């Protein structure tokens, strides 16, 4: 988030209206749009390209059954994600507010569905995703140090917690440092994938045009629709994060142009790179070797680089850390906007005057992720994440169609062909229905967790005549955070939120 505090000298140069005055501070804190096109591209690429491409190829190939179909599925998953991103470009330019799904669900259906998304993000999406990225970073970082042994679980969790805390502090301290670090991580991702692709091509020519994984590319292709569906599930997981720029659209320069351009540049590049990386894996490894590997990139590095495999491991670790960094930046804005709208404690809507960042929201994000590391095995929650994420994507794209009918004359700088949201809607229905059939217990659990938002909404938000002690407790928490973080509520465009 990029913010600017106007000093008293600046304020004296122009008249101040009564609405501009803030009761807690003599400064006016405003949000500025400083994320350009390249920043948008870096955020989308940085969020999507985490540890998934270095691990998930196993899941896609296992369900697809053949190397040829797995490459096709990786490409189709990129196409589906691109279509979804185009639909979100219309929503992001029509509803020019940060928060992504939260803002769009609120506009289409009202406060309860948007709060349910916020609740699911608080309990499942954000902490689980951040914890998994942190654990992936810690595992790959410690592998070279442990040699042939696996790192101890306590060491992995300790390093993961340290990574989360460090990135939260950087995001709190300075926005420019955060942007520069994002660029460093992006370079690491590009280098890691370039090494895989270039090495795979070189291996092809050195071995005399031999492709170990493409001897008979479609010989063992799966014909079971449920298995093919599962392969799409694994592939789409690696493309997760394509809507991350919508969460910070208030900070994007000229979003009407830069949002669709960033999507149009980044998504085709990621799709191409993912397909080429999988081709490279299967040039060097046989399908059997790839399926027996717990970390495809490491097995690939051992085959090609030998004792220098640690280079690949470190690059993969930095890639996972970069994805964690982007997630912390974007997800903190969801809670910030939710608190600004009164759906979360007001303390999370504060902006630090010292560093001009939403410190309380960022620290809250970090605390949730570290708590996930402590409570147990976060990997068992991945299915809940995928199911609830698919359900809210379905609801959001349905909201796009609903807004087309409900508000036909609304200003839409970008208006996509109806074929795009309808196609994405069908894919989303498929992704939501599949777990209900294959894993009904997990689906019901995810639905129950999300539905638990309804009584919380009724008691904490819809109920206006709450006892005084509840309101006073919220106010005391906000006041305490204002003092600890030297922070105030946002005041932007002559309007206090």
CB-based burial, 125-146: b 16+ in 10 Å, e otherwise: bbbbbbbbbbbbbbbbbbbeee
Query: Hey, where are the domains in the chain?
Result: 37-409+416-465
The runs of H, that is alpha helices, within 95-174 are 101-109, 111-120, 126-146, 153-173
What average pLDDT does range 373-400 have in this prediction? 82
How sure is the predictor about 379, in pLDDT bands with cuts at 50, 70 and 90?
low
Do the Cβ atoms of 291 and 71 come closer than 8 Å? no
What does the alpha-carbon distance between residue 298 and residue 143 come to, in Å, rounded to a whole number? 10
Q: Exposed, middle or buried: residue 330 (CB in 10 Å: 0-12, 13-18, 19+)? A: buried
Contacts of 494 (CB under 8 A, 6+ apart): 17, 19, 20
Q: Please report the pLDDT score of residue 80 as a whole number.
A: 93
Question: Of 420, 360, 443, which Cα lies nearest the Cα of 83?
Answer: 420
Fold of the domain spanning 37-409+416-465: Amino acid/polyamine transporter I (1.20.1740)
Q: Residue holding tokens 């170990």?
A: 212
Residue 17 backbone dihedrals phi, psi, to 5 degrees: -80, 165
| pLDDT tens per residue across span 270-324 | 999 999 999 988 888 888 888 887 778 888 888 888 878 888 888 888 888 998 9
How sure is the predictor about 497, in pLDDT bands with cuts at 50, 70 and 90?
very low
How sure is the predictor about 252, in pLDDT bands with cuts at 50, 70 and 90?
confident
Geometric angle at alpha carbon 81, from 78 and 82, rounded to 5°: 85
Q: Please report the pLDDT score of residue 36 as a whole number.
A: 81
| pLDDT tens per residue across span 206-233 | 765 556 666 777 778 887 777 887 788 7
Point out which residues pair with 30 in neighbouring strands.
4
- What is the radius of gyration, based on Cα positions, of the chain? 23
Q: Exposed, middle or buried: residue 448 (CB in 10 Å: 0-12, 13-18, 19+)? A: exposed
Say whether pLDDT at 408 is over 60: yes
Record the tokens describing residue 212, joined without a space: 């170990």
């Amino acid at each position: 988030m990029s913010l600017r505090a106007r000093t008293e000298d600046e304020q004296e140069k122009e008249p101040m209206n009564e609405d501009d005055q803030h009761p807690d501070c003599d400064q006016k804190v405003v949000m500025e749009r400083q994320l350009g096109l390249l920043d948008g591209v870096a955020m989308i690429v940085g969020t999507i390209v985490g540890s998934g491409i270095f691990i998930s190829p196993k899941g896609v190939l296992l369900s697809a059954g053949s190397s040829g179909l797995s490459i096709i599925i990786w490409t189709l998953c990129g196409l589906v994600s691109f279509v979804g991103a185009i639909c979100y470009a219309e929503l992001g330019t029509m509803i020019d507010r940060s928060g992504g799904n939260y803002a769009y669900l609120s506009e289409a259906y009202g406060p309860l569905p948007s709060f349910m998304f916020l609740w699911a993000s608080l309990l499942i999406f954000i902490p689980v995703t951040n914890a998994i990225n942190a654990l992936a970073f810690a595992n790959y970082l410690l592998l070279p140090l442990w040699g042939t042994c696996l790192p101890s679980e306590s060491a992995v969790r300790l390093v993961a917690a340290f990574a989360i805390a460090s990135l939260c502090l950087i995001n709190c301290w300075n926005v420019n440092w955060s942007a520069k670090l994002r660029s460093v991580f992006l370079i690491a991702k590009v280098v890691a994938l370039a090494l895989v692709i270039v090495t795979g091509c070189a291996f092809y020519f050195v071995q005399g045009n031999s492709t170990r994984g493409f001897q008979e590319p479609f010989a063992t292709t799966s014909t079971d629709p449920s298995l093919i569906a599962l392969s799409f599930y694994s592939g789409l997981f690696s493309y997760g994060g394509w809507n991350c720029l919508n969460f910070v659209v208030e900070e994007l320069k000229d979003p009407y142009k830069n949002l669709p351009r960033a999507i149009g540049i980044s998504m085709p590049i990621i799709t191409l790179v993912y397909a080429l990386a999988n081709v490279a894996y299967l040039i060097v490894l046989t399908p059997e070797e790839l399926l027996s590997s717990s970390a495809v990139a490491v097995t690939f590095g051992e085959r090609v680089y030998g004792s220098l495999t640690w280079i690949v491991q470190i690059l993969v670790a930095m890639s996972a850390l970069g994805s964690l960094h982007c997630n912390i930046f974007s997800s903190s804005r969801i809670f910030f906007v939710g608190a600004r709208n009164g759906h979360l404690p007001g303390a999370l809507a504060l902006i630090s005057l010292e560093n001009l960042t939403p410190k309380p929201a960022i620290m809250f994000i970090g605390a949730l992720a570290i708590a996930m590391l402590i409570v147990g095995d976060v990997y068992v929650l991945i299915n809940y994440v995928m199911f609830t994420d698919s359900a809210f994507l379905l609801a959001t794209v349905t909201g796009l169609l609903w807004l087309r009918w409900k508000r036909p004359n609304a200003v839409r700088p970008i208006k996509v062909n109806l074929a795009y949201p309808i196609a994405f809607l069908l894919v989303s229905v498929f992704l939501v229905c599949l777990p209900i059939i294959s894993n009904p217990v997990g689906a019901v659990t995810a639905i129950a967790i999300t539905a638990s938002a309804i009584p919380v909404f009724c008691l904490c938000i819809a109920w206006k005549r709450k006892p005084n002690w509840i309101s006073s407790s919220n106010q005391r928490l906000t006041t305490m955070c204002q003092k600890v973080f030297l922070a105030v509520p946002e005041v932007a465009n002559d309007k206090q939120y």
